[in-house]
Amino acid sequence: MRARGKIVKRSTASIVSIGIAVMVLLLVSGGASWAAPHQDRLRGTIPTPTPGPTPPPPRPVRVRFSGTIEALPPELLGEWVVGGVSVTVTGNTTLMPSNGVPRVGDWAIVMATRLSDGSLVGDYIQIQNGSQIEARPVEFKGLIQTVEASSLTVSDVVVTTDAQTKLVGTPMTGFLARVKGFLQPDNSVLARKITVLNPSEIGTEFEGVIEEFPAPPHYGRWLIGGIAVLAIEETTDFPGLDPQLGLFAEVSGILSTDGLVYAKAIRVVNPTATLVKGIVERIEESEWTIGGTVVTVDENTLIDESRARAKAGMQAEATVRDQGDGTLLAIRIRLERPW
């Protein structure tokens, strides 16, 4: 049976035209829907985000140091080496005295700025030649570490000798030496007198603050005035008071070659120690001024220069006791750099 109705025949070109029209319509409607929420950005009305403030660069650090001039550039502008430290000298660096001519071997006090890369730029440099440097008297004691023809090393300090040096005893490694002399620009000491003590033959006596001690019956290792003391049951007596931290103790014994004192007696006495801290303002033969306080020093005062040399401007911590006449006797003075 033939179906009713008309069969409509369309050409291929008509079908293609209809498809293109549909696609255009979809694109137009879809494009409009996508563009709607982005019209402001397309028109450039959304502001560009403002960047935050730039963090400030690190602050320059001012440093101060001193030492012997070891290297100089030909025209003075450029890299100097002072006490093993490199510092750049520029046209803005102040050199004093202004009419002086620095030379290798002169002493220099340097104020410099440390930049973010760690380099140093000189701000001010004070030059002193050898004849301008006032030799300061020093006195200390310690173990002899090395012995050379014209020098010793005593507790890490180089001690030089000349024809005027008076030597008492024979220097030997491991022996104790008491040195009197003058501090030199290179931090060595030119000795005027060296007294050598043989620990196997000569006893030792000293007093100091009790910093450590063993539990009763107190045999074992003590630390008195910074010196290690060994108390042995068979040989050590304990006259005096019971030990307490901060009290003074008088020690007599034998000093061994390794610096340990084998005690014959440890006598604890009543006076307590106090500390005086501050900048060293003045050094005389028998008195120091530390932070405005005058302290007395004698031949038994231990001057600890392991961290800094004893001179005005250094930071000091002095262990002192009141002598009952209004004066303070320094038992030990420990020095440090103030920066």
- Model-level pTM? 0.33
Mean pLDDT on 185-193? 84
Residue 7 has pLDDT above 50, yes or no: no
Confidence at residue 60, expressed as pLDDT on a 0 to 100 scale: 61
Indicate the number of domains in the chain. 4
Give the structural domain span for 256: 203-272
Same-domain status, 174 and 122: no
Phi, psi (5° rounding) for residue 179? -115, 130
Mean pLDDT on 191-210? 76
Domain boundary, last residue among 249, 272, 295: 272
Residue 19 lies in a domain: no
Domain boundary, last residue among 150, 179, 197: 197
Residue 9 has pLDDT above 50, yes or no: no
Same-domain status, 93 and 124: yes
Looking up residue 308, the CATH number of its domain turns out to be 2.40.50.140
pLDDT tens, 268-307?
A: 876 666 788 899 998 988 899 998 999 999 877 778 776 7
For the ranges 4-13, 160-169, 252-261, the lowest mean pLDDT is seen at 4-13
Confidence at residue 34, expressed as pLDDT on a 0 to 100 scale: 45
Residue 9 lies in a domain: no
pLDDT tens, 227-249?
A: 889 888 876 778 777 888 878 88
Confidence at residue 5, expressed as pLDDT on a 0 to 100 scale: 40
pLDDT tens, 128-175?
A: 765 555 556 778 777 788 899 889 988 778 999 988 899 988 888 877
Confidence at residue 258, expressed as pLDDT on a 0 to 100 scale: 62
Confidence at residue 87, expressed as pLDDT on a 0 to 100 scale: 94
Check: CB of residue 196 under 8 Å from CB of residue 216: no
Looking at the DSSP bridge assignments, the partners of residue 330 are 320
Same-domain status, 182 and 208: no
Residue 40 lies in a domain: no
Confidence at residue 26, expressed as pLDDT on a 0 to 100 scale: 46
Residue 259 has pLDDT above 70, yes or no: no
pLDDT band at residue 23, thresholds of 50, 70 and 90?
A: low
Distance CA 61, CA 84 (A): 19
Same-domain status, 148 and 192: yes
Residue 259 lies in a domain: yes
Q: What does the angle CA 77 – CA 78 – CA 82 come to, to the nearest 5 degrees?
A: 105
Please state, as a whole number, how many other Cβ atoms lie within 10 Å of the Cβ of residue 257: 15
Domain boundary, last residue among 132, 147, 179: 132
